[in-house]
Amino acid sequence: MLKEKVEEVLKEIRPTLQADGGDVELVDVTDEGIVTVRLTGACGCCPMSTHTLKMGIEGKLKEKIPEIKEVQQVQ
């Protein structure tokens, strides 16, 4: 259930990332509220990817889904 909620929020975020040549892929969501994602395309190698991850993706997920505690990036 939590994973489906995360996917819905990521669908809202995706067009912004895609406009800059990047994307986000959901890897996992734990029962503890830890979301693991992979930034792809231009986002994967962008020097601002940490900012995008924490302020953009994590911020939006926490805002929409209070159960989310943290978003982590994997390669």
Convert the pLDDT of each residue in 35-53 to its tens digit. Answer: 999 989 887 777 778 888 8
**CATH number of the 2-73 domain:** 3.30.300.130
User: Residues 22, 42: contact at Cβ < 8 Å?
Assistant: yes
CA distance 32 to 40: 25
- Full-prediction pTM beyond 0.85? yes
Query: 65's torsion region: left (phi>0), alpha (psi -120 to 50) or beta?
Result: beta
2-29 burial, b at 16+ Cβ within 10 Å, e below that, comes to: eeeebeebbeebeeebeeeebbbeeeeb
- Residue 67 clears pLDDT 80, i.e. is over it: yes
- Residue 26 clears pLDDT 90, i.e. is over it: yes
- Residue 14 clears pLDDT 90, i.e. is over it: yes
Q: Please, which residues have CB within 8 angstroms of residue 7's CB and are 6 or more apart in sequence? A: 26
